[in-house]
Chains A and B, each alone.
Chain A
């Protein structure tokens, strides 16, 4: 069973339709005391909104935070999409300093654009990924494949070891990060046509 975290701040329909179309069953997860993760093999944190908002909503419930950490420790899979990926870092600098999940050692800050004439923020549209390291997530995905991005902030990791793909928008930023069983996509796989569904399927087929 695939769990999608529902923090009541964004539309989850596209993500759940994509997962469902790939032949997996979906359950929406609420961050309350009652939620159980026993039957869940993969959790997706979708993200639209701001870092401060997701941080505030998520940390409302300590019990769920504890369960999610236990879940990750057990080796089961976690995917953050866009803001959901950024939320996997230690902290974010959007609307003040806010706490993240700390599965990646680093912070999230505004992209610094050098050439403002050619590049603008937010970074919206189809852009290429440059694969930096081999991984099962890239099965049938070639270097330079296009994905759909919508964001103004980027993840800054203290170590390059976890960066599996980068994308350039005036500067290079991490577009895929992986730390063992925790994965982050800066782009929206559910909006990235065939490549998006392929890479999402690759994630859903990863085994804990």
Chain B
């Protein structure tokens, strides 16, 4: 049986890591290369690196950083932010990414996922979905939460899966950066619709939040930013805690 995963989520702006609150209020949290090395050494199962620069994003900005990270990181690396073509994907994979993360482009061109999947394998394609609750309804947003999309959560996920996406990364804009706990209903809903593994993120502030996600939903992984950036937590401590609750994690 595959292990549940703990994934540090790194947000990149220029050549620095930052952390946001509700997709806003940027705070500098460190150097991407040395931070990744620390996560590698503290038993993270994977890392996700997303370029969220407010300027016009270009996936090639990440390439030199990704190359340096992959020299010292011997765990799977997912990279994304501003991917617009198959070519962008191939460049990132050549620079050390094992998977790529697409978001905004999906709404314009679902077919691109299919193209990437058939060229690089579906395991290499993660679709990230940003959701905000408006009038008790889940509404999807693209471009780092700036543009509202019309398609429903359910239809969007179905289209992604029809086009051979490998995994889904779900993030709640309302919870993101608050550390007040994730939107478990949202996560459960996505897990029910999806037939591919789901990575949950947004709002995780303590170990119980992670425990509850694994206990109450079918989520395959959790991705956290603030928990690692602003507390003395690391993946080893999280796993030691969760071990007591019968959650199947990679301990050694």
Contact = CB atoms under 8 A, between A and B. Distances in A.
Contacts of B121: 48, 122, 150
Contacts of B70: 13-14, 17
B107 to A, nearest CB: 25
B71 interface: yes
Given A120-B196, A125-B2, A126-B45, A192 B96 contact: no
Interface stretch (A58-66, A104-112, A141-149): A141-149
B242 interface: no
Which among B96, B121, B195, B196 has the greatest number of chain A C-beta atoms within 10 A?
B121
Task: Give the interface size class of chain A.
Answer: 20 to 34
Contacts of B3: 125-127, 146
Nearest to A17: B71
B252 A195 contact: yes
Which among B72, B74, B75 has the greatest number of chain A C-beta atoms within 10 A?
B74
Contacts of B93: 11
Contact of A126 (B71, B72, B197, B250): B250
Contacts of A48: 121
B250 A190 contact: no
A21 interface: yes
B72 A17 contact: yes
Interface string B56-81: 00000000000100111011100000
Given A21-B72, A126-B45, A14 B96 contact: yes
A39 to B, nearest CB: 24
A195 B251 CA distance: 11
A126 B67 CA distance: 24
A168 to B, nearest CB: 8
B132 interface: no
A191 B98 contact: yes
Interface in B70-116: 70-72, 74-76, 93-96, 98
B80 to A, nearest CB: 17
A122 B74 contact: no
Interface residues of B, number: 30
B2 A192 contact: no
Interface in A122-161: 122-127, 142, 145-146, 148, 150
A127 B2 contact: yes
B166 A191 contact: no
A48 B93 CA distance: 11
Contacts of A194: 43
B75 A146 contact: no
B140 to A, nearest CB: 25
A13 B67 contact: yes
A179 interface: no
A193 B71 contact: no
Contact of B43 (A120, A142, A193): A193
Interface string B187-212: 00000000111000000000000000
B219 to A, nearest CB: 13
Interface of B: 1-3, 5, 40, 43, 45, 67, 70-72, 74-76, 93-96, 98, 121-123, 166, 195-197, 220, 250-252
30 contacts: A11-B94, A11-B96, A13-B70, A13-B71, A14-B70, A14-B74, A14-B96, A17-B71, A17-B74, A18-B74, A118-B1, A122-B121, A122-B122, A124-B166, A124-B197, A125-B3, A125-B5, A125-B197, A126-B5, A127-B3, A146-B252, A148-B75, A148-B76, A150-B123, A168-B1, A191-B76, A191-B98, A192-B75, A193-B74, A195-B252
